[in-house]
Structure 1
Amino acid sequence: MRSYKSADQRKTEILEAALDLFSRQGFQDTTMEQISSHIKMARTSLYEYYKSKEDILYSLINEIVEEEREKPLEGSIRAQLEVLAAESIARLQKNFTLYKILFQELPTLSNPTFDKIRAWQGRSMILVHEVIVNGIKEEAFKATRKPEDIAFVFKALIGQRLADILITDTQVEPEVEAKRLIDLMWFGIGQEGSDIS
């Protein structure tokens, strides 16, 4: 007797197979035919769920986006930045394979897929920007600093650490690592009042 799977079960099966193939063969070298063959599904049936492998990739990304925070941030500005940094690190570690694929394949993706990924990254930075604007209002940051400059420092610091974690396949405690990174951002690396020009 043949067992039937719901549409959601089939989609999950497709996404898992695609993620496995993308990670082993690379996104560009994986075909829709290979994905359908991997799960013993007719290629025409696969196209009923997804029009292209870019659609599959975007669905994988959407799963991460849907996991993003819904409750408001609480605590000091510094604590809020630590939470956002810790969430970024935890999200990467939970979805390591997908992040690795995106890191490796991003330059080769088609413009629409690349644009969707950039839009997702932009949405995640909106919350950081809001925290920073509030931080300037609360005088947690110097009023002479522009919010976009402070956001750039956050993005550069966290983004570089995420890239290091991907490249070295390192496991870290998200909260501990976030505190370390935000301490570095918060206190800088120079001595108070020193002139290093």
Structure 2
Amino acid sequence: MERASVARSSSPAITVDALVMPAYHEKVNMRSIVPPEPIKSSLGTTRTKPPSAGQGSVENANPRVKSVEITREELDAKLAQNKAEVDVIASEMRREMAEFRAFQARQFSTMNTSISEIKSQISDVNGKFSGLNGKIDGLNAQIDGLKTTSTTLQWMVGAILALLAVILVLPQVQAYLKPVEIIQQAPAPQNNK
């Protein structure tokens, strides 16, 4: 990015500082923009170098930063301590996971037992319904038998009544069909006097 002055179109005498952004394919040269005057902090030291001092390292910019030197043994000891802490945390997590798995197994076992009990109760209820259906079918068969019996009785009563009617009417029919004998009267004796 480069700093450039751009003239406004409304007034040619006024210029505005702007950043000219490079296109995506252009190479960018990065330069720090250093303030013209150093910034004073509340601690009394400057936070930035004056422009004349040029670019420097972080250590040179802040004199309070000290370089830390650590030996190989100290680094190994610190890494071993960190590894031990991580191992303790990992073993604690493994223990918690084992407890959770055991708890979950107990929960699933309880659920399986409950489901089995519910299934057996449902089977028992289904058996009772099957028994009731059998009894209802038996009652239906008895009702059908009673219907058949009543139909048979009705037929028999009708047949007996018809037979009685025939028996009662038969003498009258026989009498009606019997040839009538004409009785001739004998001539009455005549008296001659």
Q: Which of the two has greater strand per residue?
A: 2
Taking structure 2 as the reference length, the TM-score comes to: 0.19
Q: Structure 1 length normalisation: TM-score?
A: 0.19
Whose RCO is larger (CA < 8 A, sep 6+)?
1
